[in-house]
Structure 1
């Protein structure tokens, strides 16, 4: 990796924390320059404007979530454990501060609803990827007769994401991880009560 690429990745990595914490509107180019320790000209050697940095920073933050999910899913032995491991990843985002600022999909979706269409599209794409992964786990569980065959994977997926992301929002708002714990506990209870195939031998 050459010096230019190292510098560009440094800008993306440091900017990701800023955008995910302060938002697109709240993050200025001066903030990025100060955090990166790079002159303004050094920023423009790699990016045309703040928009380009914000999109690259979002992609970087989302890649960190995907990496955490992949690592957690690798050690899970069945579909229920895979769903529980997703809960653990999001608990760690709050309690372990594994991702500065929390969930980039949630943060970006709230801020860019109408104000930044490119970021909104990026968040939509990321959420679709996450939903596809979650839905695939649920379908696998149905096919393996671990989950009931009459559940709707898309509906279950929507419910789980809404509950988990809601827990993250409340935990960030009140600086208290009990909310993500409450919400993930509700997801676990939902899996046990509504999804597991009780007729499985």
Structure 2
């Protein structure tokens, strides 16, 4: 990797937490420059615009989240345990700040639902990936006869994601971890109740 690519990645890494915490509109170029310890010209040597940095920063944060999710799920073979491992990751997202600013999908979706179309597209794509992955876990649970065969996989995935992301949003809003814990418990109730054979 060349020096230019190193610098580009350094700018993305340093700005990712800013964008995920303050949003696209709340993050200024001067803050990026200060955090990355680089001059304006140095930034424009590598990026055409703040948009380009923001898109790279989202990709970086989402990759970080995916790595943590993959690692957490790799410890389990049972579908139920994998889903509960996802819940634990989101609890840690709040309690241990494993991704600075919280869930990048939630933050980007909320800020850009009517705003920045490219960031909205990134958030949709990331959420699709998350929902598809969760859907595969649910299908595996159906195949193993742990979940009901008549489950609407897309509906079940969206309920689980909505509970988890809703818990993250409430915990961030009220600065209180109890909400993500309440919602994670409801995921458990949903799995053992509505989804179970």
- The answer, yes or no, to whether TM exceeds 0.5 is yes
Task: Output aligned runs, 1:25-40, within 5 Å.
Answer: 25-40=25-40
Q: State the alpha-carbon separation in 1 of the partners of residues 26 and 72 from structure 2.
A: 33
Q: State the alpha-carbon separation in 1 of the partners of residues 72 and 115 from structure 2.
A: 34
Which residue in the other structure is 1:113 paired with? 113
Deviation at 1:146, TM superposition (A): 1.1
Q: State the alpha-carbon separation in 1 of the partners of residues 86 and 70 from structure 2.
A: 9
Corresponding residue SS for 1:99:
coil
Which residue in the other structure is 2:59 paired with? 59
| TM-score in terms of structure 2 length | 0.98
The superposition leaves residues 101-153 of structure 1 with CA deviations (integer Å, 9 ceiling, x where unpaired) of 00011111111111100100011101000000000000110011111112111
Which residue in the other structure is 1:129 paired with? 129
Which residue in the other structure is 1:154 paired with? 154
Corresponding residue SS for 1:151:
coil
Corresponding residue SS for 1:146:
coil
Q: State the alpha-carbon separation in 2 of the partners of residues 118 and 2 from structure 1.
A: 28
The superposition leaves residues 152-175 of structure 1 with CA deviations (integer Å, 9 ceiling, x where unpaired) of 111110101111100000111111
Which residue in the other structure is 2:166 paired with? 166
Q: State the alpha-carbon separation in 2 of the partners of residues 156 and 115 from structure 1.
A: 29
The superposition leaves residues 63-109 of structure 1 with CA deviations (integer Å, 9 ceiling, x where unpaired) of 01110111111111210011011001111100111000000111111
Structure 1 portions without partners, runs of 5+: none
Q: State the alpha-carbon separation in 2 of the partners of residues 193 and 42 from structure 1.
A: 56
Provide runs of 4+ in structure 1 moved above 6 Å: none
Which residue in the other structure is 1:88 paired with? 88
Q: State the alpha-carbon separation in 2 of the partners of residues 94 and 8 from structure 1.
A: 29
User: Aligned residues, how many?
Assistant: 197
| TM-score in terms of structure 1 length | 0.96
RMSD (Å), alpha carbons: 0.7
Structure 2 portions without partners, runs of 5+: none
Q: State the alpha-carbon separation in 1 of the partners of residues 6 and 92 from structure 2.
A: 28
Corresponding residue SS for 1:100:
coil
Q: State the alpha-carbon separation in 2 of the partners of residues 193 and 168 from structure 1.
A: 23
Deviation at 1:2, TM superposition (A): 2.0
